[in-house]
Structure 1
Amino acid sequence: MWAADGGGAIDAASTSPTGTAAEAEPSAELRGAVRAYLDHLLVERALARNTLASYRRDLARYTAWLAGAGVGTLAAVGPTDVSAFLAVLREGGAGHPPLSAASAARTVSAVRGLHRFAAREGLAPTDPTRDVRPPVPARRLPKALSVPEVERLLDAAGPGPDAGPLASRDRALLEFLYGTGARISEAVGAAVDDLDLAGSTVVLHGKGGKTRLVPVGGYACRAVAAYLTRARPALSVRTGDGHGALFLNARGGALSRQSAWTILRRAADRAGLGGSVSPHTLRHSFATHLLDGGADVRVVQELLGHASVTTTQVYTLVTVDRLREVYATTHPRARG
């Protein structure tokens, strides 16, 4: 059980036998505050739809927990309440298992943002999360394929430019992903008009409505050109509802993220790579191979569309590990 002083609202009557606040239906005021904050993120910040959905779930859990603690307004929340909720995230409680460090960090970010917004908009006199810091997730090294593995994967997607429409599309899609570093959502969201094969560039539509112009490599240009010339017209006449989408499905509609992932997984299975390939694998490989080749991390940041270079720098850890491995196995005095 947590005692609450300094503005906290938790007491013995509002906690479960395990010492955590039992969840309850949030008040109309709490729900209204969350709704206003999410509207702000959508309109003013142009947050991506998936991020908004995650924030909505996180804040629904937070406000239900506050309601269980007897808190009906954000103005009544004190620092002790926030600290107690963070303990629930770390240790579990109120019918929920402990969250991973990454999920807990995202939830803390959503809660802090809500309280900052409430203080700024006059919904609360102060921000009780001012001194709260999210847990730092462990830095996970992205999975990257070697260059020979990428070549096996691409070859497994389609036998060449004279393949049937679907095999030609699959090869073009995977060459495009590796040749541009695009997210799968960016690839399936690309339109034919976004592509400039003569200039070997494409406009990608990234998170938060941001766009960026990136080069398209020679192999990808040739694969996409073959697909546009032979395969896409054959697919588009089947229903014609794909409009201007670059990559079409077997019925002529725009290819979905799920279908793109299936294409990648099947190619990985045929290449003998199995479960080691995920939707972001080609993007990770794109970044790692650029850095291995001497590219500046800030150039890679621009190509990937990262808002902060800190996000991109995780790829430098991969290359440092690779350097250590090569050094250890090749230098005559590396091991003493």
Structure 2
Amino acid sequence: MAASTAPARAAGSADREEPLPPELARARVEFTEFLRLERGLSAHTVRAYSADVAALLEHARRMGRTELDRVDLAVLRSWLARQRSSGCARATLARRAAAARAFTGWAARSGRTDGDAGALLASPRGRRTLPSVLGKDDARSVLEAAAQAAEGGEPLALRDWALVELLYATGIRVSELCALDTADLDRGRRLLRVVGKGDKERSVPVGLPALDALEQWLAVGRPALAVAASGDAVLLGRRGGRLDVRTARRVVHRMLLAVPGAPDLGPHGLRHSAATALLEGGADLRSVQELLGHASLDTTQIYTHVSVERLKATYERAHPRA
């Protein structure tokens, strides 16, 4: 349990003065294992939910609720109210409420409690902000700059060219890109086999420019960096191991900052840009949902708002009677 103290603080709890009561501590551990083994959630989501539940149970302990059945709706509301008063963002509160509902629902279904205390818990919806995206001209400038930097055949420049081309061409998540193995590439059909959230597989098409960058990386750049520990990873780090997501993010930021006028976006910004370009090019929403690996069409819907907002901005800038 000692290792969980830091994330619990991150979720809004104060420093612990004493450990959780045994029943609460055991429930937290078992819930985390449930998320990891049965729900198939990403490691990041499991850590976030586990930390939120640790903070909730710590709050319950401070209220004198040492048994799981006594972690009721009043405790949940008190926990969220305390965080709201300390200035937590709406999106953070919404996520923590979702974690609490997942926990109480699991406890009820598994027979650990008589009822689901979180079933009636309301939470503020996080405000959806429109994501920043690369316009087509900026995207072309970024990709051309990456290609020019790779002309000398330097391995890392070839990798970075392939990285940014693939992210923009496919709209996949950076974690999905870094997890690609050579067996996931179908070069003849120009497809990537991608394993997304919840271990769901999907096939994503790759355009010719991205495929060209990838082929040059695999033929020239990767062999120069590969070591015994490289395994089947498509993208490699400087020392030959599988490319780390944080390194990939730094690469994207650096490449965009090098192009005058381009917004400072990370890999997720390229994902937004790819989705927006597809919709503006006439792709239907369901196809974009499938390409991005969104579980819900509601998540994809935001890109229609991006397109409309850009259309309005163009109209106001160009029309004499706007």
TM-score of the superposed pair, with normalisation by structure 1: 0.86
Matched, 1:142 2:131: yes
- One-letter identity of the residue aligned with 1:111: A
3-state SS in 1 of match to 2:39:
coil
Name the counterpart of 1:76: 70
Aligned partners of 1:171, 1:206: CA distance in 2, in Å?
23
Aligned partners of 1:28, 1:257: CA distance in 2, in Å?
37
> Within 5 A, what are the aligned runs for 1:222-261?
222-236=212-226, 239-261=227-249
3-state SS in 2 of match to 1:129:
helix
Q: Out of 179, 202, 205, which is 2:195 matched to?
A: 205
Percent sequence identity is 37
Name the counterpart of 1:12: none
Q: Out of 108, 116, 128, which is 2:105 matched to?
A: 116
| Kept after mapping to 1: 8 A contact 2:257/2:264 | no
| Kept after mapping to 1: 8 A contact 2:168/2:271 | yes
Matched, 1:104 2:123: no
| Kept after mapping to 2: 8 A contact 1:192/1:244 | yes
Structure 2: gaps spanning 5 or more residues: 1-12
Name the counterpart of 2:82: 88
TM-superposed CA distance for 1:74, in Å, is 2.0
| Kept after mapping to 2: 8 A contact 1:46/1:208 | yes
Matched, 1:320 2:308: yes
- One-letter identity of the residue aligned with 1:75: D
- One-letter identity of the residue aligned with 1:132: L
TM-superposed CA distance for 1:77, in Å, is 2.6
Matched, 1:219 2:213: no
3-state SS in 2 of match to 1:44:
helix
Could you give the per-residue CA deviations for residues 218-242 of structure 1, whole angstroms, max 9, x where no partner exists?
1101111111122212222xx3321
Aligned partners of 1:296, 1:222: CA distance in 2, in Å?
27
- Higher share in helix: 2
- Identify if the C-alpha distance between structure 1 residues 149 and 197 changes in structure 2 by more than 3 Å, giving closer, same or farther: same
TM-superposed CA distance for 1:23, in Å, is 6.3
3-state SS in 2 of match to 1:130:
helix
CA RMSD of aligned residues (A): 2.0
TM-superposed CA distance for 1:127, in Å, is 1.6
Q: Out of 309, 314, 321, which is 2:297 matched to?
A: 309
Aligned partners of 2:102, 2:238: CA distance in 1, in Å?
43
3-state SS in 2 of match to 1:123:
coil
- Identify if the C-alpha distance between structure 1 residues 260 and 302 changes in structure 2 by more than 3 Å, giving closer, same or farther: same
Aligned partners of 2:48, 2:189: CA distance in 1, in Å?
38
Matched, 1:31 2:25: yes
| Kept after mapping to 2: 8 A contact 1:21/1:69 | no
3-state SS in 1 of match to 2:203:
strand
- Identify if the C-alpha distance between structure 1 residues 78 and 228 changes in structure 2 by more than 3 Å, giving closer, same or farther: closer
- One-letter identity of the residue aligned with 2:110: E
Aligned partners of 1:186, 1:311: CA distance in 2, in Å?
18
Q: Out of 170, 190, 196, which is 2:186 matched to?
A: 196
Aligned partners of 1:189, 1:27: CA distance in 2, in Å?
39
Q: Out of 35, 43, 47, which is 1:41 matched to?
A: 35
Matched, 1:299 2:290: no
TM-superposed CA distance for 1:331, in Å, is 4.0
| Kept after mapping to 2: 8 A contact 1:194/1:203 | yes
Aligned partners of 1:300, 1:255: CA distance in 2, in Å?
27
Aligned partners of 1:22, 1:262: CA distance in 2, in Å?
33
3-state SS in 2 of match to 1:149:
helix
Could you give the per-residue CA deviations for residues 123-177 of structure 1, whole angstroms, max 9, x where no partner exists?
1111222211221001111110111111222233341555322211111111011
Name the counterpart of 2:168: 178
| Kept after mapping to 2: 8 A contact 1:23/1:66 | no
TM-score of the superposed pair, with normalisation by structure 2: 0.90
